[in-house]
Amino acid sequence: MERETLFVDILLPLPLEAHFTYRVPFKLNSDVSIGKRVVVQFGKKKLYSGIIMKVHQTIPSHANVKYILNILDIKPIVNPIQIRLWKWLSDYYMAYEGEVMNAALPTSLKLASESKLILNPDFDGNYDLLNDKEFLIVQALERHHIITLTEASKIIDQKKIMHLVKTLIEKGCILPEEEIRDRFKPKTESYVRLSEDYKSEKSLESLTRILEKRAFKQLELLLVFLQHSKFFSKSPKQISKAFLLSKSGLSSSIITALEKRGVLEVYQKSQSRLKDFAATKQLSSLKLSEKQEVALGQISNIFTEKDVCLLHGVTGSGKTEIYIKLINEYLKIDKQVLFLVPEIALTAQIINRLREYYGDKLGYYHSRYGNNERVEVWQNINANTKKSYKIIIGARSSIFLPFSNLGLVIVDEEHDSSYKQYDPSPRYHARDSAIVLAKMHDAKCLLGSATPSLESYYKTTTNKYGLVNLDERFSKVNMPEILVVDTVEAYRKKEMKSHFTKLLLDQIAEALENKEQVILFQNRRGFSLRLVCESCQWTPECTNCDVSLTYHKQIGRLKCHYCGASKDVPTKCPNCGGNKLVMKGFGTEKIEEELPVFFPDVKVKRMDLDTTRSKNAYLQIINDFQDRKIDVLVGTQMVSKGLDFDNVSLVGVMNADNLLYYPDFRSFERSFQQLTQVSGRSGRQHKRGKVVIQTAQPYHAVIRDVIDNNFLSMYKSQMEERASFKYPPFYRVIRISLKHRDYHVLNDGARYFTDLLLPKLGSRVLGPEYPAVGRIKNYYIKNVLVKFEINASHKAVKTIIKEAIKEMFQEKSYRYILIQADVDPV
């Protein structure tokens, strides 16, 4: 082993096709293994940390193979199953493996290219081995602690210093900062222990006698310490300084005095940032209803034959309680469980419900979580000890955690489009990836929803997935009563007050009178949709994007929802000079402001992207609503998802037409889902709730299906449409977006690209076409859609597309067109 020549193939966090082969210095031979991070030089200057994907002895064909510079991990941070998942994601979603690696690893584990140097803390200060230039750099580092490569090259007055840096790294004198030194620093806490001199009973006895006379408080503290650390028992406990102070009620100066006396020692212990939570309820105290019990039995049965099961349970049927019971079956056989939720807004409620039963077996993970916390969860799972989390609740990125022994994956609200990552690549669907991940672990996967996606439901009809229905609410409360108001007629009869019909206002009044709460749903944020000139219909547009701007009252400006740019509100129409500019359409902010006009004392809060930017804003709003500090919650789709409030008796949908007329093949399916979901927030536990839907299309088939709570009717009619227009789940879709700043280059390039595909794919290619918004952030966009039969080889199609993309890159005039593929767009 020692003298063998080993090579490693390294995955770098870069959008590049290949793995790169490096040679292993003999002295590191026994340390290399798959899944560890190594530092390598890539290109002329840059150092990267990459991951070892393969260890082998095949001599690469190219001549100058570089050595790896260092190994960062003692234990692999990525396991073989993860590597398989990355590979799958990269193939399936047409992303580079380096991009998948980037999405998968928390920032502090994926050390990016950097050019800063620090002194190696292990450097023994032996300068004899250094030449003059090396010495200068080490000296500079001793003085300044951190210098950049540029500074280093100035110090020694030499441009090419990479080699020198490399030697210095090899000699163990310096480290590239960030590549090497994890930014992740575990939090530490002070602990107290008895020093060696006083560990015998005899010495303690004589000590107590001294303290008794001269330092009573010190004695008191010592006794508290001995008692709580169970010092004389077989398994003494570690005691933190904070704990000792609070138990003794003494000040820290007493500890200092004992420290000075040489009795106690204070030491630092790394402390998990994640607080410990103990379970407060016994699992056996959770009694399922008869229907829930039956459903749970069916799921377990299905899992003996199939890997995936869809739980189709109406809103409020108590799916969560079924999950809670099911999870335990897997913990009993020592398996890990992953519980996916689509939005962070949802995690808070679910976590609290699961924590009651599972306490600190439960960890959570999502992108809004701080970097250090994420690394902690990662390492906790990777360590895979008795103390590691057994259940992870998380948003989509939690599929990337280093699970070694998954038994069950739950995908709650599986229909939700937030499971799809749009930007940056990999554009993966977390539900579909989770199914693949489960398969790799030989684990089971439970999808849950009140409004399943057509894709998942279809798979139950072809027997790929099992299906379990739960068609009754827990505690047998009826599904909410849904009232539909025709806004066209209301306008005609002049019964509209601003954006409220009389029916909706009456219902709100009644709910408020009964001290019940109300949710108002409007799928647009902002104050008013847009400004329009009454005489010429001019409307202000974003200068970077082809969309009209939205007025935001809070900032008193017009804002672009695509690029974030904002503008002052014009006083006159710049087109015709007219001065009658009116607001058209309405958003959440306007509703929030108007309500007090009708109900002066009402407490209104708004939940949308604008009000939930800060880390805990969601939680605050949800808690305030739960605690009834808010009467009416106005919100975008955020309020529609999975939340469980016990005092909401009315849900109002301000305008269903926005949903129905969104230009997308899924818009009817989505409308059904959103309307059903938001309705489902009404009257969950004790009393039948009400829903008022305002629409210009009261007889629209989707609205009817929502009223009747008839998923199957919507499913059937939509499936017919999908079949005849060749859409999922019968066909697969890959959307390729081409982007360029120059309109003409893009136009020609998109044509050229399409012509490359046509001979091979024929009528499966559609476009190029401008999307609904044809320019974003100054980039013109054209889309090409490839639709192909579900049974056709998707690998073959993807190869054809990849080749076309490569050819575009070789064509000089189109080289700079940005081409992005989105597989299974939502």
Residues that bind ligand ADP (CB under 6 A): 287-289, 292, 313, 315-321, 474, 644, 684-685
| d(C-alpha 328, C-alpha 779), whole Å | 51
Q: How far is the CB of 547 from Zn ion (least distance, A)?
A: 6
Q: How far is the CB of 321 from ligand ADP (least distance, A)?
A: 4
Q: How far is CA 676 from the centre of its chain?
A: 25
Phi, psi dihedrals of residue 49, rounded to the nearest 5°? -105, 130
Q: How far is the CB of 313 from ligand ADP (least distance, A)?
A: 5
With beta carbons less than 8 A apart as the criterion, state whether 797 and 743 touch.
no
| d(C-alpha 16, C-alpha 598), whole Å | 59
Closer by beta carbon to ligand ADP, 625 or else 779: 625
Q: What secondary structure letter does DSSP report for 538? A: -
Distances (CA, A) of 596 to 139, 402, 599, 600, 612: 69, 51, 5, 4, 22
| d(C-alpha 310, C-alpha 423), whole Å | 28
In order, the DSSP letters of 460-487 are HHTTSSEEEEE-S-GGGPPPPEEEEEEH
Closer by beta carbon to ligand ADP, 11 or else 345: 345
With beta carbons less than 8 A apart as the criterion, state whether 188 and 262 touch.
no
| d(C-alpha 739, C-alpha 734), whole Å | 16
Using DSSP, state whether 42 is helix, strand or coil.
strand
Closer by beta carbon to ligand ADP, 154 or else 325: 325
| d(C-alpha 705, C-alpha 697), whole Å | 13
Closest to 472 (Cα-Cα) out of 644, 682, 317, 290:
317
Closest to 328 (Cα-Cα) out of 302, 280, 364, 296:
296
Q: How far is the CB of 780 from Zn ion (least distance, A)?
A: 13
Question: Which pair of tokens denotes residue 644?
Answer: 């469980």
Q: How far is the CB of 646 from ligand ADP (least distance, A)?
A: 6
287 binds, among Zn ion, ligand ADP, none (CB under 5 to 8 A by kind): ligand ADP
Q: How far is the CB of 775 from Zn ion (least distance, A)?
A: 9
Q: Which residue's entry shows tokens 């209104």?
A: 604
Is the torsion defined by CA of 690, 691, 692, 696 positive or negative? negative
657: left (phi over 0), alpha (psi -120 to 50) or beta: alpha
Spell out where 702-778 has E strands.
731-740, 765-769, 775-776
Q: How far is the CB of 122 from ligand ADP (least distance, A)?
A: 53
621 binds, among ligand ADP, Zn ion, none (CB under 5 to 8 A by kind): none
289 binds, among ligand ADP, Zn ion, none (CB under 5 to 8 A by kind): ligand ADP
545 binds, among ligand ADP, Zn ion, none (CB under 5 to 8 A by kind): Zn ion
Q: What end-to-end distance do the CA atoms of the chain give, in Å?
A: 51
Closer by beta carbon to ligand ADP, 4 or else 627: 627
70 binds, among Zn ion, ligand ADP, none (CB under 5 to 8 A by kind): none
Q: How far is the CB of 145 from ligand ADP (least distance, A)?
A: 53
Closer by beta carbon to Zn ion, 542 or else 781: 542
Closer by beta carbon to ligand ADP, 124 or else 290: 290
Closer by beta carbon to ligand ADP, 289 or else 783: 289
Contacts 24+ apart (CB under 8 A), 120-126: 120/169, 120/172, 120/173, 120/174, 120/175, 122/172, 123/172, 123/173, 123/174, 124/172
Q: How far is the CB of 535 from Zn ion (least distance, A)?
A: 5
Closer by beta carbon to ligand ADP, 178 or else 321: 321
Distances (CA, A) of 727 to 211, 566, 673, 760: 84, 37, 18, 20
Q: What secondary structure letter does DSSP report for 686? A: S
434: left (phi over 0), alpha (psi -120 to 50) or beta: alpha
Site residues (CB under 5 A) for Zn ion? 533, 536, 538, 542, 544-545, 560, 562-563, 565, 573, 575-576, 578
Q: How far is the CB of 365 from ligand ADP (least distance, A)?
A: 21
Closer by beta carbon to ligand ADP, 342 or else 540: 342
Q: How far is the CB of 357 from ligand ADP (least distance, A)?
A: 12
538 binds, among ligand ADP, Zn ion, none (CB under 5 to 8 A by kind): Zn ion
The answer to whether the bond into 728 is cis (omega within 30° of 0) is no
- CA-atom Rg of the chain in angstroms: 31
SS (H, E, C) 608-651: CCCCCCCCCHHHHHHHHHHCCCCCEEEECHHHHCCCCCCCEEEE
740 binds, among Zn ion, ligand ADP, none (CB under 5 to 8 A by kind): none
560 binds, among ligand ADP, Zn ion, none (CB under 5 to 8 A by kind): Zn ion
28 binds, among ligand ADP, Zn ion, none (CB under 5 to 8 A by kind): none
With beta carbons less than 8 A apart as the criterion, state whether 224 and 246 touch.
no
576 binds, among Zn ion, ligand ADP, none (CB under 5 to 8 A by kind): Zn ion
Residues in contact with 223: Cβ distance below 8 Å, sequence separation at least 6, in sequence order: none
Q: How far is the CB of 349 from ligand ADP (least distance, A)?
A: 8
Residue number closest to ligand ADP, CB atom: 318
Q: What secondary structure letter does DSSP report for 8? A: E
| d(C-alpha 480, C-alpha 691), whole Å | 7
Closer by beta carbon to ligand ADP, 479 or else 656: 479
474 binds, among Zn ion, ligand ADP, none (CB under 5 to 8 A by kind): ligand ADP
652 binds, among ligand ADP, Zn ion, none (CB under 5 to 8 A by kind): none
Q: How far is the CB of 644 from ligand ADP (least distance, A)?
A: 4
Closer by beta carbon to Zn ion, 69 or else 542: 542
Q: How far is the CB of 540 from Zn ion (least distance, A)?
A: 11
The residue type of 600 is: P
Residues in contact with 164: Cβ distance below 8 Å, sequence separation at least 6, in sequence order: 133, 134, 137, 156, 158
Closer by beta carbon to ligand ADP, 62 or else 287: 287
Q: How far is the CB of 394 from ligand ADP (least distance, A)?
A: 18
Closer by beta carbon to ligand ADP, 19 or else 684: 684
292 binds, among Zn ion, ligand ADP, none (CB under 5 to 8 A by kind): ligand ADP
563 binds, among ligand ADP, Zn ion, none (CB under 5 to 8 A by kind): Zn ion
25 binds, among ligand ADP, Zn ion, none (CB under 5 to 8 A by kind): none
| d(C-alpha 623, C-alpha 348), whole Å | 10
Closer by beta carbon to ligand ADP, 369 or else 474: 474
| d(C-alpha 441, C-alpha 261), whole Å | 56
Q: How far is the CB of 684 from ligand ADP (least distance, A)?
A: 5
Closer by beta carbon to ligand ADP, 35 or else 466: 466
Q: How far is the CB of 662 from Zn ion (least distance, A)?
A: 19
Closer by beta carbon to ligand ADP, 290 or else 513: 290
566 binds, among Zn ion, ligand ADP, none (CB under 5 to 8 A by kind): none
Closer by beta carbon to Zn ion, 562 or else 665: 562
317 binds, among ligand ADP, Zn ion, none (CB under 5 to 8 A by kind): ligand ADP
